[in-house]
Amino acid sequence: MNAIEFVQKAQNAEISVVEHTHKILEEIKKKNPAYNHFNLIAEDFAIKQAEELEKQIRQNPEKAKSLKLLGLPVSVKDCICVKGIESRSGSKILSGYKPVFDATVVAKAKEQGAIILGKTSQDEFGFGSFGTNTGIDFKKPKNPHDVSRACGGSSAGAGGFTALTEFSHIALGESTGGSIACPASFCGVVGLTPTYGRVSRYGLIDYANSLDKIGTIAKSTKEAALLLQIISGNDEKDATSLKNPAENYIENLSSPLKGMKIAVIREFFGKGIDSGASKACWSALKAAEKTLGVKYEEVSLPLNAKYAIPAYYLIAMAEASTNLAKYCGMRYGMEEELKGNFDEYFTSVRSKFFGEEAKRRIILGTFTRMAGFRDAYYLRAMKLRTLLIEEYAKLFKKFDLIVHPTMPVVAPKFDDIEKLTPLENYMMDICTMPANLAGLPHASIPVGKSRNMPVGLMLTASHLQEARLIRAANAIEGACG
């Protein structure tokens, strides 16, 4: 039963919310030791929510009927704050941190009757593409299609669990440079990342403020859209939140795509891209042309293909190193016995509790912001970012949508990931990074398999064109069977 049917049944009192919550929790408890999709299972919290909802349904059935996520289990990426539930962003340094407030997205989901299941696993603070840069003492999430392979990162647990569960569920994920699209692609599910600013970041544990976006992961586009339309819209608590009111994406889902013009990005189909992944994406496009009447044309995005990765990593690391400065063992999470002067104390706490990739990014990010290097690196990357956005804008004058494979490879094996250098790791984001840097809404939908593993097709629309993006993703998903 998909999430939309589930909510309808719950609204008509045809299923028991408490029973369903128990069932999905049992499944998580049974399977999590083998898959590590959850950093924390909020069992008592979820059951209490379900019981309260059922009481509400009995007392005020009319009000309950109006709740758009009534009884639906929602998992929350660890970096998104849930009041009273340990929220660590996958890092040991935040052990014991229990937020005293809900992130706006969590508050909105709860208001509509969602049941929060727990916190899903991720690369520490979002620093990674496979879910394997986990913090100290965290376990690595495994891909349900093949446990010797990664889920993709950084919203790894969100993607993995969505693919694994047999019950109705939608995940809240977060993307800075591709962290929703990548695990969706590797796990064979749908990931929706909105325009930067479309969804409030209030209550998100920051990775890089000018890039972070909260979005959704589900088994189908329609389900992912259901949660996205609820969490989007202006929020006065987030100064970067856009004023545009939330839209209903599902209402116009079935209007035809005929005549829609699609740009196929040449650079992301050629050298360095898994040939099976390219093939699966081309078949999806041909099916869309035949059954939906869309038109496509091969075009180039040369500046983005060359410069998006260096520009992204400079900006993301600079912002990340600033954000991580507050974790000094005094206000949040782990602390030690106060010894030495501030610098000594600060250094000892951070050396002990940050993982390797976090340390690498603090060092690189701090370097690019230092006096004397700022102009050469950080400011130059910011200027480049504007040029890259302009390159997209030119394409969107002629086309409605841009497509290419989401990832250059299928989910890799853990053994192979270990052999990658940091630079090879960063290159994995070649296809997802451009749209993220430009703040453009994008979706990854499953379109087939290569080497027996799922392949994702990435669709990108112009700023605030989520409705068009979702309509196309849903129709192409259907056309692929």
Give me 477's structure tokens.
């998903």
Instruction: Find the shortest distance in angstroms from Cβ 412 to ligand GLN.
Output: 13
Is residue 460 a contact residue for ligand GLN (CB under 6 A)? no
Is residue 316 a contact residue for ligand GLN (CB under 6 A)? yes
Complex with ligand GLN: residue 122 or 221, whichever CB lies closer: 122
* Phi, psi (rounded to 5 degrees) for 405: -60, 150
Q: 11-19 long-range CB contacts below 8 Å, 24 or more apart?
A: 11/64, 11/65, 11/67, 11/70, 12/65, 13/57, 13/61, 15/71, 16/54, 17/50, 17/53, 17/54, 17/57, 17/70, 17/71, 17/115, 18/47, 18/50, 18/51, 18/54
Instruction: Find the shortest distance in angstroms from Cβ 311 to ligand GLN.
Output: 12
Contact residue for ligand GLN among 35, 38, 97, 127 (CB under 6 A): 127
CA nearest to 11, candidates 74, 72, 73, 64: 64
Instruction: Find the shortest distance in angstroms from Cβ 125 to ligand GLN.
Output: 8
Q: What is the largest CA-CA distance in the chain?
A: 70
Is residue 128 a contact residue for ligand GLN (CB under 6 A)? yes
Q: Is 352 assigned a catalytic role?
A: no
Instruction: Find the shortest distance in angstroms from Cβ 319 to ligand GLN.
Output: 11
Length of the chain: 481
Contact residue for ligand GLN among 75, 129, 232, 321 (CB under 6 A): 129
Instruction: Find the shortest distance in angstroms from Cβ 44 to ligand GLN.
Output: 30
Residues 163-222 that bind ligand GLN (CB under 6 A): 175-179, 207
Q: What count of Cα atoms within 13 Å lies in the side-chain half-sphere of residue 429? A: 29
* Phi, psi (rounded to 5 degrees) for 119: -105, 125
Catalytic residue among 87, 89, 121, 154: 154
Q: What dihedral angle (degrees, nearest 10) is formed by the CA atoms of 173, 177, 183, 185?
A: 120
Q: Which residues contact 343 (CB under 8 A, 6 or more apart)?
A: none
Complex with ligand GLN: residue 129 or 143, whichever CB lies closer: 129
Instruction: Find the shortest distance in angstroms from Cβ 133 to ligand GLN.
Output: 8
Complex with ligand GLN: residue 154 or 232, whichever CB lies closer: 154
- Helices 221-231, 466-479: crossing angle, 10 deg rounding: 160
Task: Specify burial of residue 338 (Cβ count, 10 A radius: 0-12, 13-18, 19+).
Answer: exposed
Catalytic residue among 179, 232, 278, 444: 179
Q: Is 168 assigned a catalytic role?
A: no
Complex with ligand GLN: residue 163 or 428, whichever CB lies closer: 428
Q: How many residues bind ligand GLN (CB under 6 A)?
A: 13
Three-class DSSP category at 79? coil
Is residue 249 a contact residue for ligand GLN (CB under 6 A)? no
Q: Per-residue string for binding with ligand GLN, 276-315, x by CB under 6 A?
A: ----------------------------------------
Q: Is 75 assigned a catalytic role?
A: no
Would you say 249 and 466 are in contact if contact means Cβ atoms under 8 Å apart? Answer: yes
Complex with ligand GLN: residue 285 or 311, whichever CB lies closer: 311
Catalytic residue among 77, 119, 219, 222: 77
Complex with ligand GLN: residue 285 or 317, whichever CB lies closer: 317
Distance, C-alpha 361 to centroid of its chain: 20
Is residue 126 a contact residue for ligand GLN (CB under 6 A)? yes
Residue 103 CA to residue 117 CA, distance in Å, equals 15
The CA-atom distances, in angstroms, between 452 and each of 372, 385, 412, 431, 448 are 50, 37, 12, 21, 9
Contact residue for ligand GLN among 78, 247, 400, 429 (CB under 6 A): 429
Q: Give the binding range for ligand GLN (CB under 6 A) out of 41-49, 99-107, 120-128, 135-143.
A: 120-128
Would you say 205 and 211 are in contact if contact means Cβ atoms under 8 Å apart? Answer: no
Complex with ligand GLN: residue 4 or 158, whichever CB lies closer: 158
Q: Which chain residues interact with ligand GLN by CB under 6 A? A: 126-129, 154, 175-179, 207, 316, 429
Q: Which residues are catalytic?
A: 77, 154, 179
